[in-house]
Amino acid sequence: MQFFTLFAKRPFLLLLTVLALSFIFGISIANNATLETDLDEYMPKTHPAFMASDEAESLFGIKDAILIVVEHPEGIYNPGTIEKIDAITGALQEEFDAVESVTSLTTADNIKSDDGFLEVEPFYSGKTSEAAISQMQAEVEANPMIYGRNVSKDGTATLIIAELNSDMDAEILQNWAKQWEGPETLMVAGRPVVEGALAELGPKDMAIMFPLVIITMIILLFLLLRSLRDTVLNMVIVLFGTLVSFGLMTLLHIPIYAVDTMIPVMLIAIGVAYGIHMHNTIHHLMRSYPDLSKGELATLSLKQMVRPIIMTAITTAIGFVALMSSQVLPVRYFGLFAAIGVLSEMLLALLLFPASIYLLGKPKYKKAKADLEIQQGKGTLSDSLQALLLRRPKMIVFISLAVLIIGVWGTSMVWIDTSFLANFEEDSTIAQTDQFVNNKFGGTSTLNIILSGDEADLFKHPEVLQAMDSMQEDIEKDPIVGNTLSLATFIKQMNQVMLESEDGSYSIPDSQELVSQYLLLYEFSGDPETLEKVVDYEYTSANITIQLKSDSSAVLKDILAVVDSSRPVFADHAIEITYAGSGYKAFIFSELLLEGQIISLALSFAIIIILLALLFKNLRIGVVGTIPIAITAVVNFGVMGLLGIPLSSATALITSIAIGIGVDYAIHFLEHYTNERLGGSSLKQATRSTLKHTGRAIIFNAIAVMGGFAILMFSVFPPNRQVGALIVLNMATSALGTLTILVVLVHYLEKKHVFLPKRISDNNTRRLS
Partner 1 sequence: MKTRTAKRISVLTLLMTFVLLTVSATTPSGSEVMWEVYNRDSGETMSANLIMTITNSRGSVRERTIAQYRMDKDGVESKLMFFLSPSDVRNTSFLSFSYEDGRSDDQYIYLPALRRVKRIASDSKNDSFMGSDFTYDDMGSRHPDLDTHTVLRKETVDGVSTLVVESIAKGDEDYPRTLSWVVDGEWFGLKKEFYLPNGTLGKTLTIDTYEEIDDIYVITDMTMRNVKENTSTRIQMEEVEFNLDFNDSFFSERQMKIGPRR
Which residues in this chain contact partner 1 in the complex, by CB under 8 A? Answer: 59, 113, 116-121, 457, 460, 498-499, 509, 511-514, 516-518, 520-521, 523-525, 527-528, 532, 536-538
SS3 187: strand
CA distance 76 to 606: 63
Q: What is the Cα–Cα distance from 121 to 99, expressed in whole angstroms? A: 25
Q: Are 440 and 150 in contact (CB under 8 A)?
A: no
Pairing verdict, β 541-548 and 445-452:
antiparallel
Radius of gyration of the chain (CA): 33
Q: Which is nearer to partner 1, 116 or 377 (CB)?
A: 116
**Residue 121 Cβ vs partner 1, minimum distance, rounded to whole Å:** 7
- CB crowding 529-551: b at 16 or more within 10 Å, else e: eebebbbbeebbbbbbbbbbbbb
Q: What beta strand segments (E) does 411-489 contain?
A: 445-452, 481-485
Nearer to partner 1, 516 or 685 (CB): 516
Distance between CA atoms of residues 415 and 648, nearest Å: 9
Cα-Cα end-to-end distance for the chain: 5
Residue 57 C-beta: closest distance to partner 1, Å: 13
Among residues 426 and 463, whose Cβ is nearest to partner 1? 463
Toward partner 1, which CB reaches closer, 503 or 513?
Answer: 513
Bridge partner list, 109: 122
DSSP state of 42: G
User: d(Cα 631, Cα 634) in Å, to the nearest integer?
Assistant: 5
DSSP notation for 661-700: HHHHHHHHHHHHHHHHHHTT--HHHHHHHHIIIIIHHHHH
The Cβ of residue 679 has, within 10 Å, a number of other Cβ atoms equal to: 11
The residue (of 126 and 183) whose beta carbon lies closer to partner 1 is 126
Residue ranges of E strands in 412-528: 445-452, 481-485
Phi, psi of 759 (to 5 degrees): -145, 120
What is the nearest approach in angstroms of partner 1 to the Cβ of residue 515? 8
CA distance 745 to 741: 6
Which phi and psi angles does 541 have, rounded to 5°? -145, 155
CA separation for the pair 489, 197 (Å, rounded): 34
Q: Nearer Cβ to partner 1, position 52 or 286?
A: 52
Least CB distance from residue 610 to partner 1, whole Å?
55
Question: CB of 456: closest distance to partner 1 in angstroms?
Answer: 10
Q: Shortest distance, CB of residue 457 to partner 1, whole angstroms?
A: 7
Strand partners, 243: none
Q: Which is nearer to partner 1, 171 or 463 (CB)?
A: 463
Q: CB-wise, 511 or 764, nearer to partner 1?
A: 511
Contact 571, 282 (CB under 8 A): no
In angstroms, rounded to a whole number, what is the distance separating the alpha carbons of residues 249 and 239? 15
Whether the Cβ atoms of residue 115 and residue 499 lie closer than 8 Å to each other: no
Q: How far is the CB of 546 from partner 1 (least distance, A)?
A: 24
Work out the widest C-alpha separation in the chain, in whole angstroms.
110
Q: Enter the DSSP assignment of 459.
A: G
How many angstroms separate the CA atoms of 434 and 437, rounded?
5
Dihedral angle computed from the Cα positions of residues 408, 720, 214 and 342, in that order, rounded to the nearest 10 degrees: 60
CB-based burial label for 65 (10 Å; 0-12, 13-18, 19+)? buried
Q: Which is nearer to partner 1, 61 or 718 (CB)?
A: 61
CB-based contacts of 454, cutoff 8 Å, min separation 6: 540, 574
Q: Closer to partner 1 at the Cβ: 17 or 540?
A: 540
For the CB of residue 110, give the shortest distance to partner 1 in the complex, in Å: 11
Nearer to partner 1, 74 or 527 (CB): 527
Sort strands 256-257 and 35-36 into parallel, antiparallel or unpaired: parallel
| Least spacing, CB of residue 501 vs partner 1, in Å | 14
Least distance in angstroms from the C-beta of 116 to partner 1: 6
Contacts of 353 (CB under 8 A, 6+ apart): 230, 233, 275, 278, 279, 282, 298, 301
Provide the minimum distance between the beta carbon of 541 and partner 1 in the complex, in angstroms, as a whole number.
12
Question: How far apart are CB 146 and partner 1 at their closest, in Å?
Answer: 19
Minimum CB distance to partner 1 smaller for 115 or for 762? 115
Looking at the chain, how many residues does it have?
A: 769
Tell me the closest approach of the beta carbon of residue 575 to partner 1, in angstroms. 19
On whether the CB atoms of residues 665 and 707 are closer than 8 A, the answer is no
In angstroms, what is the minimal distance from the CB of 540 to partner 1?
A: 10
CB of 520 to partner 1, least distance (A): 5
Nearer to partner 1, 32 or 517 (CB): 517
C-beta of 718: minimal distance to partner 1 in Å?
Answer: 43
Query: Residue 57 or 551: which CB sits closer to partner 1?
Result: 57
| Nearer of residues 119 and 130 to partner 1, judged by Cβ | 119
Q: Which is nearer to partner 1, 46 or 511 (CB)?
A: 511
Give the nearest distance from C-beta 98 to partner 1 in angstroms: 17
Nearer to partner 1 among residue 171 and residue 523 (C-beta): 523
